[in-house]
Amino acid sequence: MRTKPFIRTLEFLWQEGHTAHATLEEAEKEAMQMIDVYTKFAYEQAAIPVIPGRKSRVETFAGADRTYTIEAMMGDKKALQAGTSHNLGQNFSRAFETQFMDENGQLEHVWQTSWAISTRFVGGIIMTHGDDAGLMLPPRIAPIQVVIVPIWKKGDEKGVVMEAVASVQNTLKEAGIRVKVDDSELRTPGWKFNFYEMKGVPIRIELGPRDVKNRSVVLSRRDVPGKQGKEFGISMEPSILVDHIKGRLEEIQASLLQKAITFRDSNIVDVNSYGELKEVISEGKWARGPWSASDADELKVKEETSATIRCFPFDQPEGAKKCFMTGNPADEVAIFAKSY
């Protein structure tokens, strides 16, 4: 396959599982449990508001009875299949004669599942939250949550500043906050500010001679650019500083999720005809509408618009629906989008 930055590299790693069960019900429960795990991880850790749902027959994994997916909207409004969970039924166990002995002493074929997310999820994080300045990492998954940039001009200021920096660093480390000090003298503070913004570090602490004198620090949030994201005079007193930074990290986490939810919801449009779907897809948005049409109709949509059914969301609207393609009754709405 062609490579694509963040999404498909020549080698990529998987978090993958395979399970075997005695019954179809157990396998289905496992497949659903894992898509719930992935959904929870996406929302709570990566701040990506994925839409969990079931794949159409056309998009179901070859050899699976059912494929469940979490679909994420990237910054360019394309969809990313961010994780999948498959109920494989007995398809593979019959092909490979994978059997177990049940409580009656009878040999039966196992019911299987498989599920995975891959390093493309890292690409999903980059493309969901990043901006023109670089990465913007949710604090819960950021390798560095706080970077401290010491500032001094005169040689005799260095010792005093670095002593205060070491104290602040230890205070944050002991509180379980992932912190880094950049005391390199090869780069200016301004260069470091830009560098760590590009790296997506959620919080930057600036500490100079005046701050040491006032027993306070200056704090900058990555998710709020410019002066609006700066706070001055935050006390160095350990309990105050720790509480303040932990609170800000949680705020940033919640803010990134809310911003992504708002972006996603403002770019999903409900459609009631094929013409409306074409228009919405041509604008680069996601189309959501009632669907009960054939596999051939689904392939026609793909051929004419380059959009595919991303999923039938688990969260479905109530009430009677008519398929926007055929006019026939439809039990579910589907989401269509162009994707990676």
| Domain covering 267-337: architecture | 2-Layer Sandwich (3.30)
| pLDDT value at 55 more than 80 | yes
pTM, 2 dp: 0.93
Q: Are 14-129 and 267-337 equal in CATH topology?
A: no
Read off the pLDDT of residues 173-199 as tens digits, 9 standing for 90 and up. 999 999 999 999 999 999 999 999 999
| Domain covering 14-129: architecture | 2-Layer Sandwich (3.30)
Read off the pLDDT of residues 134-188 as tens digits, 9 standing for 90 and up. 999 999 999 999 999 999 998 889 999 999 999 999 999 999 999 999 999 999 9
| pLDDT value at 282 more than 90 | yes
Q: Where are the domains of the chain?
A: 14-129, 146-253, 267-337
Instruction: Give the pair of three-digit tokens for residue 11.
Output: 């080698």
Q: Which residue has the higher pLDDT, 117 or 10?
A: 117
CATH class of segment(s) 146-253: alpha beta
Which segments within 94-250 are labelled E, that is strand? 99-101, 107-109, 111-118, 146-150, 179-181, 203-207, 216-221, 230-235
The pLDDT assigned to 81 comes to: 97
Which segments within the chain are labelled E, that is strand? 14-21, 51-54, 66-73, 79-89, 99-101, 107-109, 111-118, 146-150, 179-181, 203-207, 216-221, 230-235, 268-270, 286-290, 308-313, 321-322, 329-330, 333-337
